[in-house]
Amino acid sequence: MFTGKITKIIYRKEDFLIAKLEASDGDYVIKGSIYGVDSGETITVDGEWVTHPQYGKQLEVTRWERPLPKTKSQIIAFLASPLIKGCGEKRAKDIVQHLGEDSLNRIMKDGEGCLLPIKGIGQQKAAKIVESVRLTFEIQNILMRLLPYGITANMVVKAYKEFGSNTAEVILKNPYQLTNLKLIGFLKADEIAKRIGISPASGYRIEACVDYVLKEKCFNIGHCYLPEDELIADTLRVLNHNAKEQITRAEVEQGIAALEANERIVIEDGVIYPTFLYKHEKRVAQKLSKKLNGSGNGEAMPFLVEPAIRDYQRKNNMVLAEGQREAIRKLFTESLLILTGGPGTGKTTVIKAMIEIYRERFPKAEISLSAPTGRASRKLAELTGVDACTIHRLIGFRPGEDPVFDENNFLPCDLLIVDEVSMMDIQLADLLFSAVAPKTKVLLVGDSDQLPSVNPGNVLKDMLDAGVAHVKLTEIFRQAQESQIVMNAHRVNQGKMFAIDPEKNDFYFIHRESPEEIAETIRKSVLRFLQLGYTPSDILVLSPMKKGEIGTQELNRILQETINPPALYKEEIPAGKTIFRVGDKVIQTKNNYNKEVFNGDIGVINRIDTLLDEEGEPTNEKGLYCSFNGREVIYTKDDLKELQLAYSITVHKSQGGQAPVVIMPVSTSHYIMLARNLVYTGITRAEQKVVLIGTQKALSIAVSNNKIVERNTRLSNRLRKIMSLFEQQKAGVASELRKSL
């Protein structure tokens, strides 16, 4: 064991480090899992000497630690280093002047309280400094205990926030806790458990596997529950794969009973729900049923609506189709109405008419417009000329907190219009309908032929199946009939192949056989559109899948290399396998309420520059300065896990948005994803041009395949059951009334 100073980082990838170490008796090369160490730091290392055939003698580190700085100058240098968030050299000097040579011990022991008396350090800043110091020293001891089992530094840091100084004890007892924190999946946790020596028949293992299989199916397929027999069979398959000691059905049933006792699952009539999905589904059914049991609120009778429709048509010099007029009538007679229709059927036209007629009838009424995603809400606002926002923003949702608007504090609106409802999952539906007042009239707008929500539930389909009042627009307007995009979208929906008119230039099919040829043609097509004056933001390259030669990951690599290659004047920041470069097109992959960017928002990296602290002082870290919808949004290195390149995105991610040009591969290499609703959804994202690249065979399979994967939900059943009870109650009241007369 010896102590030295790191003079050069030779190689670093996540936890693994190769570096030069300057010790009192010479310079050495060290390598191993050494977390969070930078050049200029002093560390103590222990390990075994190995000889590399190319690089010679190296110390393979098995144990290391960062000695606690002792002198004032060492402490100042440490506090001013990039390791400590929220601190710079001036602040470091102030801390040492106030706390002396015992500064670090005081910070770890007393926390924020010892820093708050220092001028310029508030609660938020103090918390960052304390967390950084504690992470640096306490976590390295936890790491030493857990790294031998394959637990990474990143996992330890996140687990530490949950379990604190007990992290090692908690994980060594039950490594499956890491799956509850969503740090790893069950299979990785199982590997770690084997290294630790956890028994294959451990209750922790069986419960974790049941939970894993249930959630994996729910979130990958969109189910809200699994039949009990299916869950047991799938769990046994995972537990007993390549295992010497076989787990029995009875043991899995015990695990299921334990999960039910701990309220992590709900068993109902032979099916098993994750508890949170069961609660969401049940609440949505109750809220919707109450809404459906209400009247149309008596705002206007049909004889008052008809003149309003005629006035609107005369004023706007137009004639609404019968389906559109029927939708307007029903808006005034129903508390909850669903409006559906494909492209070119005039959904936007009738929404604008509804808003104007409703406003004329009720000039003081509050009207709110919303959609599940930021892009969808912005599109709704552009098309209607009325402000719109995401559902999350509408209800004032913040992670870890109750929404501003819920069943105890209803949304202050008289008419609520929600677009792109096919994207709404069961959790989002629960949040929304819990916040809707009994008096509020609700119009839900969507295209029932598009892909369902990414997350569990099939809310739009379930409401339609349950018999919620519904108007479907089917007439395609003359102007829309001129568009091959609109007409071919409807052909696909009817299971017919495309009809392409070579005289028009808005729809193309380019035959290519192999995935390599398809990828190269996509690359050339993007270049051609750029030469024609389109920008990268105008072009959506959609793929059904993330992986594979024509999946989004590989297409992003190819297109980044083509459109925005590396250059001396372009700064870049690596994040895992992705390199983010100035000029890159990027997509936000989760809702971030602090930054006010949401899942599916697309932006551009304007610059990579030094980050500033809360006081506007430069830090030692660089970050991305991105433009999203005209706003500058800053990303630290820790934030980059929320970003992906967006030269190519999945069809699911494209929902709610549109672009002038859509390019999409259609190949049998994506066989599992060749489905009619996926191709239909992709085509309907295009405003001006569609380019499909692939084989006639793949296209034929996709158009013919209307076998939409059925989702396990009971929302429609619950709705029908509750509505039936309401009808029985009404009939009972009417009967009693007749008896009393």
pLDDT per residue over 224-279, tens digit each? 999 999 999 999 999 998 888 899 999 999 999 999 999 999 999 999 999 999 99
Residue 351 clears pLDDT 90, i.e. is over it: yes
Residue 214 clears pLDDT 50, i.e. is over it: yes
pLDDT value, residue 510 = 95
Per-residue confidence band for 735, with pLDDT thresholds at 50, 70 and 90: low
pLDDT value, residue 466 = 93
Per the prediction, the chain carries an average pLDDT of: 88
Residue 736 clears pLDDT 70, i.e. is over it: no
Residue 731 clears pLDDT 80, i.e. is over it: no
pLDDT value, residue 82 = 67
CA distances for 391 relative to 32, 284, 422, 461, 601, angstroms: 47, 15, 14, 19, 15
Interacting residues of 661 by C-beta distance below 8 A, sequence separation 6+: 529, 534, 538, 539, 540, 686, 688, 689, 690, 691
pLDDT value, residue 721 = 87
Residue 738 clears pLDDT 80, i.e. is over it: no
Q: Stretch 554-573: mean pLDDT, rounded?
A: 93
CA dihedral 566, 570, 572, 577 (to 10 degrees): -20
Side-chain half-sphere exposure of 143, counting CA atoms within 13 A: 23
Phi-psi region of 362 (alpha: psi -120 to 50; beta: other; left: phi over 0): beta
Q: Stretch 334-356: mean pLDDT, rounded?
A: 94
Least-confidence region, from 111-125, 177-191, 298-312, 446-460: 298-312
CA distances for 650 relative to 443, 450, 679, angstroms: 28, 14, 12
| 89-112 pLDDT per residue, tens | 888 899 999 998 888 888 888 889
Interacting residues of 23 by C-beta distance below 8 A, sequence separation 6+: 2, 3, 4
Side-chain half-sphere exposure of 306, counting CA atoms within 13 A: 3
Residue 409 clears pLDDT 80, i.e. is over it: yes
Per the model's pLDDT, the better-predicted residue between 50 and 257 turns out to be: 257
How much of the chain exceeds pLDDT 90, in percent?
54
Residue 135 clears pLDDT 80, i.e. is over it: no
| 565-585 pLDDT per residue, tens | 999 889 999 888 899 999 999
Instruction: Tell me the one-letter amino acid at 514.
Output: S
Q: Stretch 386-411: mean pLDDT, rounded?
A: 91
Instruction: Tell me the one-letter amino acid at 45.
Output: V
Per-residue confidence band for 296, with pLDDT thresholds at 50, 70 and 90: very low
Per-residue confidence band for 451, with pLDDT thresholds at 50, 70 and 90: confident
CA distances for 244 relative to 201, 248, 617, angstroms: 11, 13, 60
